């Protein structure tokens, strides 16, 4: 872990929030895509 100094909270918050938001978008997209594929194949 690098030494982030007095701005550690801000840097970690930015990375954590971005990871959560982008991770949710990727998960929802893949889940919806699989559901649509199942619908088409049914």
Partner 1 sequence: MSIWEYANPVRFMGWTGRLLPWLWGGAALLVVGGLVWGFFFTPDDFRMGSTVKIIYLHVPSALMAINGWFVMVVASLIWLIRRHHVSALVARAAAPVGAVMTVVGLVTGAVWGQPMWGTWWVWDPRLTSFFVLFLFYLGYIALWQAIEDPDAAADLTSVLALVGGVFAILSRYAVLFWNQGLHQGATLSLDAEENIADVFWLPLVTTMAGFGLLFLALVLTRARMHVRLRRARARMLRTRVA
What are the residues binding partner 1 (CB under 8 A)? Answer: 2-8, 10-11, 13-15, 17-18, 21-22, 25-26, 29-30, 32-33, 36-37, 39-40, 42
| Smallest separation, CB 41 to partner 1 (Å) | 9
Cβ–Cβ < 8 Å for 4, 12: yes
DSSP count for the chain of H helices, then E strands:
1, 0
């Amino acid at each position: 872990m690098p030494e982030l100094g007095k701005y550690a909270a801000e840097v970690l918050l930015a990375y954590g929030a971005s990871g959560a938001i982008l991770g949710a978008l990727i998960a929802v997209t893949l889940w919806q895509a699989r559901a649509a594929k199942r619908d088409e194949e049914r």
